[in-house]
Amino acid sequence: MTVRVAAAAWKIRPVKGDSSYFGHLHDLVSCAHDEGAEVLVLPELHQLELLPLARDISEHNVAKYLVQYADAIETWVKRISDSSGMVIVSGSHLKETPEGIKNVCAVGIPGAPVVLAEKNNLTQYERDTWNLVSGSGLVRLPKGLGVTVCYDSEFPEAGRALAEEGMMVQCVPAWTETQRGFQRVRWSCLARAVENQTFVVHASLVGELGYEPVPTSYGSTAIIAPSVEPFPVEAVIRETPLNEEGVVFADLDFEQLWEARQRGEVTNWDDRNVGDWTVYDEAGDEEEPSLFFPSNEGNVNGELN
């Protein structure tokens, strides 16, 4: 089975009203639909484009301001998914829940209710500045899809849990402010593709507002394969230019993926539970090797990724 996947790099535009933002969203969806995409993956928190409409909002109140758009975004995603026939992994947005404000990804599935995939691991900025609360698990999606929002992709357990449930395409909506943040997510996506032998789609938000919380951004969008035959040597099937808006496409062949899993030069997925990773104390020294590992308590430096 082959699935045509589109992935967008969204560059923040100046907007004069809500309609400009939803028009931007429509432009990217239309581009994917015109090229016959069955699945579209968008970046994390593209609703930040709406912040110039409330320029006086303090950095600490950004999340409280943006939650007002949650219902409209989810309604829009369902309507466009139904009308286009595409699965829309809509990046993420901020949503008020009984537990508090969460960073969630609305997934539009034609003919079905919108599914919300929550971000579980939050950065210091999300916790301390925006007072977001963590999500509580992962969701199973159709077409072999799974979602890990940005920072969640950096933890192997998340991708492994989804792969164990049948995920073949790990969707990673992301927003990273710096090159290091981008690299952490991109390198993690490449690692997830290797260890789980799945496709990974990394969609980046780029552009800037020129002030907090988006003084800068850095990234590109890519569709990634395991680094085995018959996929590209560099493992990146398609990629947008760095820090530019664009949509890339790839026909993901699941039969090729299964063939690579079973007969490739390495079989990471089949070998995932073979090794014994027990750490033995050969010297019998019960003291912790703390000399070279100082406590990280009080480390408050953080950025969104």
Closest CA to 37 of 92, 108, 106: 108
| Residue 267, pLDDT score | 87
pLDDT band, residue 218 (cuts 50/70/90) = very high
* pLDDT > 80? residue 244: yes
Return the pLDDT at 150. 98
Q: Give the global pTM.
A: 0.91
- Return the structure tokens found at 107: 């997934």
DSSP strands (E only) in the chain: 2-11, 39-41, 87-89, 93-97, 100-108, 115-118, 145-147, 169-175, 199-206, 222-224, 236-239, 246-253
Task: Compute the mean pLDDT over every residue in the chain, rounded to the nearest whole number.
Answer: 93
| Average pLDDT score over residue span 84-97 | 98
pLDDT at 148 over 90: yes
Position 282 confidence tier, pLDDT thresholds 50, 70, 90: confident
Q: Residue 299's pLDDT is what?
A: 52
Asked if 119 contacts 70 with a C-beta cutoff of 8 angstroms, the reply is: no
Distance separating alpha carbons of residues 4 and 27, to the nearest angstrom? 18
- The share of the chain scoring above pLDDT 90, in percent, equals 84
Per-residue model confidence (pLDDT) at position 106: 98
- Of residues 295 and 85, the one with the higher pLDDT is 85
Reduced to 3 states (helix: H, G, I; strand: E, B; else coil), residue 133 is coil
Residue 275 pLDDT: 87
Q: Is the pLDDT of residue 297 over 60?
A: no
C-alpha distances in Å from residue 297, one per residue of 107, 127, 300: 37, 16, 9
Average pLDDT over residues 231-260: 96
Cα dihedral 278, 284, 285, 288 in deg (nearest 10): 20
Residue 226: closest CA among 242, 210, 237 = 237
- How many of the other CB atoms lie within 10 Å of CB of 130? 21
Are 156 and 184 a contacting pair, CB within 8 Å? no
Residue carrying the six token digits 């990673």: 172
Bigger pLDDT: 143 vs 297: 143
pLDDT confidence of residue 232: 95
**pLDDT band at residue 132 under the 50/70/90 scheme:** very high
303: confidence class by pLDDT, cuts 50, 70, 90: low
φ, ψ at 2 (rounded to 5°): -115, 135
Task: Decide if pLDDT at 270 tops 90.
Answer: no
Lowest mean pLDDT among 62-66, 103-107, 255-259: 255-259
What per-residue confidence (pLDDT) applies to 264? 82
CA torsion sign for 156, 301, 219, 14 is positive
Average pLDDT over residues 12-36: 96
Second-level CATH architecture of 2-263: 4-Layer Sandwich (3.60)
